[in-house]
C-alpha cells in the first residue's frame, strides 16, 4: 500500500512536542538527526522532517498528505488547507504591542503608524478587518527590538507567557489571533489522513483528562454522580459486601483541584486518579 507522508517540524519549539504526540499516538519510529524521511515501523506512514515554516508549503503542494505546524503559520500563508485537528501544544497569541513610553493606548491608535512583524500578511488582514490602516514593516526576527531601534512604532508578535515583551519594555494592546499546533491536510486527502487526525485528537483529548475511581456507600452515589458526570454518566459497580459501590468516571484534570475534597466530603474513599492514554468519541 502507498505510504502516507506526514510533515513534522525538524527543529524549534514544536519539534519535541510533535514527536512526543506521534509516539503517544502509538507510532513507532526512530528519529535520526540527519534523515529527512523516517519510516514508521507499525503504520504505513513516512515522517518528513522539515522546518516548521515549510510544513504548510509541503502540505499545500501535496508533497506531504498531512503535517504538523503552528496555526499562525497556516493563517500567514493564506494556503487553502484544512485544519483537521487542534493539538493543544505550542499555544501562543499574536499580539499587538507598543513601547511602554508610547502614547498609543488602543489598537485603533495604530492608524497611520509603522507596525513591525514577522507575520505581515495576517497582520495586514487583521488590522484592515478592524478598519486600521497602518504601514506593515516585514521583519524575519527580533521584532521585539523594532520600536527601540525606531524601525517601527508598534509590533505584532507571538507571545506565550508575555515575559519577552515585558523584558523588552513593551506594553500589549490587544490579541489579534490565538494559535496552537495543528494538523493540516492537503486538499482532497483520503481516509488515512482522517485516521491520523483521529489518533492525534484521541491523545490530545486524553492529556487534559484523568480516570477517577473511588468507593462510596450506596446512598452517596447520587451526590457523587452529580459531581463527576463523566463522558456520559459515571459507571457504578457494586462491591462484594456492605452495599458499597465503586464509581468510575472521566474528569477534566483542571477540575481535580476542587473535586477531590468535594468527593471526600461526599463520602468517597479510596479515590484513585489514573492517566488516560486516548479518548475517542
Ligand atoms: P520555531 O520558530 O520553529 O521555534 O516555531 C515557531 C512556532 O512556534 C510559531 O509559529 C508558533 O506556532 C509556535 N509558538 C508557540 N509559542 C511561541 C512563542 N512564544 N513565540 C514564538 N512562537 C511560538
Residues 69/179, Cβ–Cβ less than 8 Å: no
- Would you say residue 118 has pLDDT above 80? yes
Protein residue whose Cα sits closest to atom 22 of ligand 1: 158
| d(CA 161, ligand 1 centre) in Å | 12
Average of per-residue pLDDT across 249-273: 97
Q: Report how far ligand 1's centroid is from the alpha carbon of 180 (Å).
A: 9
Q: Which ligand 1 atom is nearest residue 70's CA?
A: 12
Nearest-10 crossing angle of helices 191-207, 15-24: 100
Is 132's pLDDT higher than 90?
A: yes
Atom 15 of ligand 1, nearest CA residue: 90
275 pairs with which residues across the strands? Answer: 210
Tens of pLDDT along 150-173? 999 999 999 999 999 999 999 999
Structural Rg of the chain based on CA atoms: 24
Query: Is the CB of 143 inside a 6 Å radius of any atom of ligand 1?
Result: no
State pTM to two decimals. 0.93
Q: Tens of pLDDT along 61-115?
A: 999 999 999 999 999 999 999 999 999 999 999 999 999 999 999 999 999 999 9
Among protein residues, the one whose CA lies closest to atom 20 of ligand 1: 158
* Centre of ligand 1 from the C-alpha of residue 13, in Å: 6
Confidence of residue 230 (pLDDT cuts 50, 70, 90): confident
pLDDT at 1: 60
| φ, ψ (nearest 5 deg) of residue 230 | 70, -165
Closest CA to 68 of 2, 20, 117: 20
- Ligand 1 centroid–CA 269 distance in Å is 44
Our answer on whether the CB atom of 19 is closer than 6 Å to any ligand 1 atom is no
Atom of ligand 1 nearest to the CA of 90: 15
Tens of pLDDT along 21-66? 999 999 999 988 888 999 999 999 999 999 999 999 999 999 999 9
Q: Is the CB of 52 under 6 A from ligand 1?
A: yes
- For residue 221, report the distance from its CA to the centre of ligand 1, in Å: 46
Kindly state if the Cβ of 76 falls inside 6 Å of ligand 1: no
For position 199, what pLDDT does the model report? 97
- Per DSSP, the residues of 143-188 read GGGTTTTTS-SEEEEEESSSHHHHHTTEEEEEEEEEE-EEEEE-TT
Q: What is the pLDDT of residue 233?
A: 85
How many angstroms does the Cα of residue 32 sit away from the middle of ligand 1? 23
Mean pLDDT of the chain: 95
pLDDT digits (tens, 9 = 90+) for 181-217: 999 999 877 899 999 999 999 999 999 999 999 999 9
* Atom 11 in ligand 1: residue holding the nearest Cα: 70
* Ligand 1 centre distance from Cα of residue 169 (Å): 20
| Composition of the chain by helix, strand, coil, percent to 5 | 30, 30, 35
pLDDT at position 242, please? 81
Amino acid at each position: 500500500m502507498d505510504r502516507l507522508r506526514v510533515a513534522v517540524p525538524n527543529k524549534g519549539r514544536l519539534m519535541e512536542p510533535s514527536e512526543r504526540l506521534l509516539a503517544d499516538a502509538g507510532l513507532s519510529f526512530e528519529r535520526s538527526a540527519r534523515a529527512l524521511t523516517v519510516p514508521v515501523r507499525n503504520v504505513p506512514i513516512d515522517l518528513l522532517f522539515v522546518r516548521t515554516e515549510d510544513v504548510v508549503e509541503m502540505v499545500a503542494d501535496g508533497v506531504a498528505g498531512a503535517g504538523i505546524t503552528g496555526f499562525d503559520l497556516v493563517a500567514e500563508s493564506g494556503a487553502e488547507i484544512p485544519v483537521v485537528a487542534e493539538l493543544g501544544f505550542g499555544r501562543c497569541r499574536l499580539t499587538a504591542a507598543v513601547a511602554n513610553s508610547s502614547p498609543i493606548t488602543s489598537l485603533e491608535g495604530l492608524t497611520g503608524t509603522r507596525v513591525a512583524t514577522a507575520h505581515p500578511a495576517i497582520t495586514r488582514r487583521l488590522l484592515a478587518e478592524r478598519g486600521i490602516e497602518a504601514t506593515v514593516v516585514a521583519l524575519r526576527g527580533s521584532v521585539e527590538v523594532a520600536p527601540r531601534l525606531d524601525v517601527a512604532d508598534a509590533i505584532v508578535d507571538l507571545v506565550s507567557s508575555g515575559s519577552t515583551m515585558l523584558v523588552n519594555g513593551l506594553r500589549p494592546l490587544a490579541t489579534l489571533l490565538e494559535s496552537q499546533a495543528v494538523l493540516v491536510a492537503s486538499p482532497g486527502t483520503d481516509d488515512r489522513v482522517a485516521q491520523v487526525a483521529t489518533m492525534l485528537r484521541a491523545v490530545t483529548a486524553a492529556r487534559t483528562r484523568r480516570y477517577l475511581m473511588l468507593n462510596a456507600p450506596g446512598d452517596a452515589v447520587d451526590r457523587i454522580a452529580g459531581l463527576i458526570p463523566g463522558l456520559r454518566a459515571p459507571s457504578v459497580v457494586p462491591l462484594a459486601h456492605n452495599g458499597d459501590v465503586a464509581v468510575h468516571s472521566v474528569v477534566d484534570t483542571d477540575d481535580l483541584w476542587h473535586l477531590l475534597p468535594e468527593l471526600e466530603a461526599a463520602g468517597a474513599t479510596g479515590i484513585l486518579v489514573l492517566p488516560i492514554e486516548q479518548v475517542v468519541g
